[in-house]
């Protein structure tokens, strides 16, 4: 299969999928390595195709935002990561990203796209398996998240839960 045909097939698979599709699934369907799929997704994104990565795989970003978005700033160590993320999703929030400010590189962002405890579990599992460091380690634990919720009351509940955990950043 030619590379352009494969990229069209990836878009077709993601368009028809009712849930995220893993890179491994795409590689099997396209009969190429997972690394080829990673490269294809990067090229498709560069062309303006809105493909997001979630802990469960790739999906097209159909909806854009449908609720209220807010940037929240928090400060904590790795031991509170699960509590932080669960406080957000348990109160109706979606965690789009994590952002830190680096002295040299400036604004560094990692996509998260967490919507449920299942997503949080999978994200934490992937971090553990990869022995990956949190981005917030380079900023002394201070980081922000773009969160989204359906109502202002949900946003207030999220902020209240984070404040109760003692991690909402209030210098």
* pLDDT per position as a tens digit, 3-57: 889 999 999 999 888 888 999 999 999 999 999 999 999 888 888 788 888 778 8
State how far the Cα of 74 lies from the Cα of 117, in Å rounded to an integer.
Answer: 19
What are the structural domains of the chain?
A: 3-60 (1.10.10.10), 68-165 (3.30.1340.20)
- Looking at residue 103, its pLDDT comes to 86
Please list the residues that pair with 95 across neighbouring strands: 114, 147
Give SS3 for 22. Answer: coil
- For 127-145, what is the mean pLDDT? 92
- Looking at residue 154, its pLDDT comes to 95
**pLDDT at position 63 over 80:** no
Can you give the pTM of this predicted structure? Answer: 0.71
Average pLDDT, the chain: 90
- For 116-125, what is the mean pLDDT? 94
State how far the Cα of 111 lies from the Cα of 76, in Å rounded to an integer.
Answer: 19
- Looking at residue 149, its pLDDT comes to 94
Band of pLDDT at residue 129, cut at 50, 70 and 90? very high
């Amino acid at each position: 299969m030619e590379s352009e045909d494969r990229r069209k097939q990836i878009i077709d698979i993601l368009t028809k999928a009712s849930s995220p599709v893993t890179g491994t699934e795409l590689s099997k369907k396209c009969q190429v390595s997972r690394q080829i799929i990673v490269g294809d997704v990067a090229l498709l994104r560069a062309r303006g195709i809105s493909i997001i990565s979630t802990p469960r795989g790739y999906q097209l970003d159909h909806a854009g935002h449908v609720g209220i978005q807010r940037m929240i700033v928090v400060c904590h160590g790795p031991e509170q990561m699960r509590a932080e993320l669960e406080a957000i999703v348990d109160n109706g929030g979606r965690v789009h990203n994590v952002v830190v400010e680096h002295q040299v590189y400036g604004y560094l962002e990692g996509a998260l796209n967490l919507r449920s405890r299942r997503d949080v579990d999978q994200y934490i599992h992937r971090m553990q398996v990869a022995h990956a460091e949190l981005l917030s380690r380079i900023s002394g634990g201070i980081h922000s998240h773009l969160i989204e919720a359906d109502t202002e009351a949900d946003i207030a509940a999220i902020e209240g839960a984070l404040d109760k955990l003692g991690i909402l950043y209030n210098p």
